[in-house]
Amino acid sequence: MTRHLLTLDSLGREGILANLHLAGDLKAAGGMARDAIPGGRLGLIFDKPSTRTRVSFEAAAWGLGMLPITLRPDELQLGRGETVADTARVLSRYLTALAIRTFDQARVEELARYATIPIINALTDDHHPCQALADVMTLREEFGEFVGLRVAFIGDGNNVCHSLIQAAGYLGFTLAISTPEGYEPKAEIVEAARANCRINGGSIELGHDVRAAAKGADAIYTDVWASMGQETERQERARIFAGYRVDAELMALAASRAIFLHCLPAHRGDEVTDEVMDGPQSRVWDEAENRWYTEQALVYTLVTGKERLGG
Ligand code: CP
Ligand code: NVA
């Protein structure tokens, strides 16, 4: 059966840990799994903008010996009425794997239903699993293990938050989420992760008090207040989220060893201050770098079925 990455559920605990192991090996070895998939072709469809995901996947493809083929919606017949199913069938004849960034999670799932190659979710309105892999890699580099960790997520219960919730459930760390009322993460994602926490440890806490979430945290994570596709809500959200800014005062409530994480792009001055972004606790550039290793490991494993280079 073709393996995909639709959400972190596609990997589960063992798949995430295997990805981190291989990504760590790649990083230690200088970054590239050179020619692990010689002659491979990695398609990349972006229905929304991207800096990190596009460049890290293209670099990952190159590192693996694959040709990256990046496509924008106005370059595809999909936008002119060709069905997702037919697109999946055709692209499967040319490509070795296909990553897609789009709006509706159902579109990624439909592609996967008809494709005979691995489909990778490169962000939807509901999930950002590739980001969460780099996030947990960064946490592990800093703290060594997940059990006992407390991560605070401050802001919108969005795609990045959802994937982090799934990661917490599989890896057994505590995620304390603080959002304005009405901007909580989806209940079914929270409930499924809580069931996993009962097996793996940790917990998912929900609340509206940023200080309570940040208190004693080992990491404070935030993301933009208005995600891609929510541009028209930007002003309203700026008002509603005004109390959900990560600043030095909030960081001071966290544990003394606490780090700051952000998937980026950041809207400096909104969800995070310059002082925190550029301060000594910030690990955001390492986090962004780790996208490259986790994505190489991901594509390698999905395409070859192997969890170790040459293994
Ligand atoms: N974090 C992330 O996915 O960034 P891009 O939108 O730049 O790809
Ligand atoms: N929540 C953000 C993440 C960007 C990487 C968005 O969807 O725009």
pLDDT digits (tens, 9 = 90+) for 83-107: 999 999 999 999 999 999 999 999 9
- SS3 of residue 204 by DSSP: strand
Which amino acid makes up residue 123?
L
Q: Is the CB of 263 under 6 A from ligand 1?
A: yes
Q: Which residues pair with 70 in a beta bridge?
A: 44
* 101 classed as catalytic: yes
| Of the candidates 162, 48, 51, 166, the residue with the CA atom closest to the CA atom of residue 104 | 48
Q: What is the pLDDT of residue 30?
A: 87
Residue range 116-138, pLDDT digits in tens: 999 999 999 999 999 999 999 99
**So what's the pLDDT on residue 299?**
97
Average pLDDT of the segment spanning 195-223: 98
Strands laid side by side in the 67-71 sheet: 67-71, 41-46, 97-101, 119-121
Mean pLDDT of 43-47: 97
Domains of the chain: 8-128+289-304 (3.40.50.1370), 131-288 (3.40.50.1370)
What per-residue confidence (pLDDT) applies to 251? 98
Q: Which of 47, 156, 223, 270 is catalytic?
A: 223
- Asked whether the CA dihedral 58, 266, 177, 227 is positive or negative, the reply is negative
Q: Is 268 a catalytic residue?
A: no
Rounded CA-CA distance 59/64 in Å is 9
Q: Which ligand lies nearest the alpha carbon of 57? A: 1
Q: How far apart are CA 101 and CA 44, in angstroms?
A: 8
Tokens 């692209």 map to which residue? 91
- Indicate if 130 belongs to the active site: no
| Mean pLDDT computed over 28-40 | 88
Q: Which bin fits 241, alpha (ψ -120 to 50), beta or left (φ > 0)?
A: alpha
Q: Is 47 in the pocket of ligand 2 (CB under 6 A)?
A: no
Q: Looking at residue 2, what is its pLDDT?
A: 67
What per-residue confidence (pLDDT) applies to 34? 79
Residue nearest to atom 8 of ligand 2 (CA): 227
When the pLDDT of each residue in the chain is averaged and rounded to a whole number, the result is 96
Residue-wise pLDDT for 135-171, tens only, equals: 999 999 999 999 999 999 999 999 999 999 999 999 9
Cβ contacts of 306-311, under 8 Å, gap ≥ 24: 307/18, 307/21, 307/22, 308/22, 308/25, 309/22, 309/25, 309/26, 309/33, 309/36
**Predicted pLDDT at 311:** 61
